[in-house]
């Protein structure tokens, strides 16, 4: 069963359009987890017939994903796609995202905005975000020993084995969660594949501020320090242990 999980926060304006683009012939079920939004996200979900879980308190982006994946596992999903409900990522590309997993070639698939030259800029990605993405991805590839085009995508797919093996519940509840998952994938020897995806930046799409981006960058570098220390047996980290 292929399940799409949507970690949502104040997504009332964009949820319907995002949901309408999900290919029903490739996806068995969609679940939304609302992280105590201040708008009518759950009302829109109800009107669309989307199953949802509401957090009584805001727990953060990483905490939201934890609920998403636990519920997907509980309901028997074999492949789990994480899709932001803000319409920034093109949901029609879900079939290409899940294909490497369905074909048995990958445990974890990253939808990259940089596999196609100029793809990120064409989608309206701000220049400072492009520069930051390139810098952080370069550092991460060096530390992790990988050669990926992008390690900061929010469009991802996992197989069941990945979510049952990698201890994602130990991860941070903020945006560092995404970086920790990639480092865990490397630490646990998971098969990772990238596929090209397209995005679009617009007023109603969620976006981090410059200050939030700086904090995220520092947290990302912090994850790389912890990974390096762990790999060289200098300081073990629970997020990279069975």
Interhelix angle 176-187/61-74, rounded to 10 degrees, is: 50
Per the prediction, the chain carries an average pLDDT of 95
Domain that holds residue 82: 2-240
Contact 54, 36 (CB under 8 A): yes
Q: Decide: 90 and 174 in contact? Cβ < 8 Å.
A: no
**What are the DSSP calls for 188-211, one per residue?**
TT--EEEEE--B---TTS----HH
Q: In what order do the strands lie in the sheet with 156-159?
A: 51-54, 29-34, 2-8, 79-82, 156-159, 108-112, 192-196
3-class secondary-structure state, position 178: helix
User: To which residue do tokens 């590839």 refer?
Assistant: 141
pLDDT, tens digit (0-9, with 9 covering 90-100), for 12-67:
999 999 999 999 999 999 999 999 999 999 999 999 999 999 999 999 999 999 99
Q: What is the residue-wise DSSP string for 61-100?
A: HHHHHHHHHHHHHHTT-SEEEE--TTS-B-GGGHHHHHHH
Polymer length of the chain? 242
**pTM value?**
0.94
- Tokens coding 219: 């947290």
Q: How far is CA 95 from CA 16, 25, 42, 160, 233, in A?
A: 20, 9, 26, 17, 40
Q: What CATH number corresponds to the domain at position 33?
A: 3.90.550.10
The tally of domains found in the chain comes to 1
Q: What are the backbone dihedrals phi and psi of residue 192, each rounded to the nearest 5 degrees, phi first? A: -115, 130
Whether pLDDT at 184 is above 90: yes
Q: What is the mean pLDDT of residues 178-190?
A: 98
Check whether 98 has a pLDDT greater than 90: yes
Question: Are 161 and 86 within 8 A, CB to CB?
Answer: no
Q: What pLDDT does residue 203 have? A: 73
DSSP H helix total and E strand total for the chain: 9, 7
**208 within 8 A of 216, measured Cβ to Cβ:** yes
Confidence category of residue 111, pLDDT binned at 50, 70, 90: very high
């Amino acid at each position: 069963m292929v399940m799409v999980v949507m970690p949502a926060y104040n997504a009332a304006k964009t949820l319907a359009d995002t949901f309408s683009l999900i290919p029903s012939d490739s996806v068995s079920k969609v679940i939304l987890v609302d992280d105590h939004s201040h708008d009518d996200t759950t009302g829109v979900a109800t009107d669309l017939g989307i199953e949802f879980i509401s957090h009584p308190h805001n727990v953060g982006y990483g905490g939201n994903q934890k609920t998403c994946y636990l519920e997907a596992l509980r309901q028997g999903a074999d492949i789990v796609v994480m899709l932001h409900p803000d319409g920034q990522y093109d949901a029609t590309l879900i079939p290409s995202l899940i294909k490497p997993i369905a074909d048995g070639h990958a445990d974890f698939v990253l939808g990259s905005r940089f596999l196609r030259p100029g793809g990120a800029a064409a989608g309206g990605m701000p220049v400072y975000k492009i520069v930051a993405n390139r810098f952080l991805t370069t550092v991460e590839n060096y530390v992790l020993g990988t050669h990926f085009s992008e390690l900061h995508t929010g469009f991802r797919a996992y197989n069941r084995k990945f979510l049952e093996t990698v201890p994602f519940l130990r991860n941070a509840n903020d945006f560092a969660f995404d970086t920790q998952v990639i480092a865990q994938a490397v630490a646990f020897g998971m098969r990772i594949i990238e596929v090209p995806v397209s995005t679009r930046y617009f007023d109603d799409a969620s976006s981090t501020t410059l200050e939030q981006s700086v904090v995220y960058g520092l947290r990302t570098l912090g994850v790389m320090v912890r990974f390096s220390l762990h790999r060289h047996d200098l300081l073990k980290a629970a997020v990279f242990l069975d």
